[in-house]
Structure 1
């Protein structure tokens, strides 16, 4: 993906006045240009799934969303355990578990007998190349979760900037397994990273 960022200075004598006005992404003669209006429409139609109850599922802690999408491709052929995932991506087993559980959270994978395998939805997503159609399906699944929807809507109200303090407060409200400010802020970094990915495949126009 080739990403072009366009900035402007609202005050040409003040470097701190720089503001991002547009980002355009290209991939093999295709534009990744979902409009902001399309994102608002997806968010407004969110199913607002409740977050996993404590002891029944894991809230995601995996900041590199591109790696999550790569993991979909890696799981296409056969189920893998966290050791195989960590070896493939050269990180420790705990990180392998985090990234695989992020797929489970999105209903792209399920865990059975210690191995992660794609769900029908995950297989469908994995069948697409990196294009607007695939990304819309992924964004819908992210924003169907109430914490991501509320955080995303707040980010749009802030002109595209994530407020991690606000996101942390949302997480403490809706996620029963998160009961400390430290944990909430750590998970908020994942929410912020996923929202930044959403905005990275969208046009500013």
Structure 2
């Protein structure tokens, strides 16, 4: 929250709002990314050695495939714990999980959204949704969280975006999620627009 708004916090809190999250907007100029250049030259080097024999691939999702739809939505349901809804003590875990399940379902239904999926064999282990120059939502199955596969999924998506003429990519993250914050820093993203999020339950 910009410094000039700090004086508003007591008034907001008196009305029943409470702080739940700080956010940042990562952004990256694709043509200037040294990490993306290295990935395009040798994608396999970005797969951790323990996963190289597992038929890992990242593909654009066929959003008409009911099996893939179900896998992505279930992946979204179980991926998150550091967002503002899961961190809110007044929001039940089941409701927070359902929010992401429904969000993934809506993204699948949106014709303007491309979803890239990381697959091992026939199983979706992670996904990343893109709309125009925005990365909207991403997640991994719990057993693949912090597996080292994030760089490969993100860079595969960024490479496809660059191939389709995008110059820059933008997104928004919670600073509670240190794993994704570190991922974006590792991939060379810069950060702007810090903001504070407040909730109100009527």
Same fold (TM over 0.5): no
Please identify which structure carries the higher helix content. 1
Which has a greater percent of strand?
2
**Greater RCO between the two (CA within 8 Å, min separation 6)?**
2
